[in-house]
Amino acid sequence: AQKITQTQPGMFVQEKEAVTLDCTYDTSDQSYGLFWYKQPSSGEMIFLIYQGSYDEQNATEGRYSLNFQKARKSANLVISASQLGDSAMYFCAMREALLYNQGGKLIFGQGTELSVKP
């Protein structure tokens, strides 16, 4: 069965430093997608970054990058140059999907609460 594990319930980082949020996954599928979402205290779910299982390069979106290690089944989120506004809950999620399947369901981890210190 699919499973997402986030082992860090909470983390602290100093402003302007980089931080890595861990995510490991379990699936028997060869084709899948990995996502990270940010949930600030206001409650909305904000899409950050996506990595496909066949993507050869790690995904990057501005200050966010995804450290994808397929053999280890890990998909860690790296936030560079942390800002106070990065303080939020972060969720890792996985979707089983064929290459052109639009509608795969997401399985979420339990989240990591990140606090950025000034």
Quote the Cα angle for 110-56-81, to 5°: 55
Which listed range, 17-25, 29-37, 66-74, 80-88, lies at the site for other proteins (CB under 8 A)?
29-37
Site for other proteins in 53-72 (CB under 8 A): none
Which listed range, 12-20, 21-29, 65-73, 107-115, lies at the site for other proteins (CB under 8 A)?
107-115
- Cα dihedral 62→79→31→71 (10° resolution): 130
Q: Does 27 help bind other proteins (rule: CB under 8 A)? A: no
Name the token pair of 1: 């069965």
Q: Is 69 exposed, middle or buried (0-12, 13-18, 19+ CB in 10 A)?
A: exposed
CA distance 58 to 60: 7
Q: How far is the CB of 92 from other proteins (least distance, A)?
A: 9
Cβ-based nearer residue to other proteins, 28 or 42: 42
Q: Does 97 help bind other proteins (rule: CB under 8 A)? A: yes
CA distance 35 to 108: 9
The footprint of other proteins (CB under 8 A) covers 4, 33, 35, 37, 43-45, 47, 50, 52, 91, 93, 95, 97, 99-111
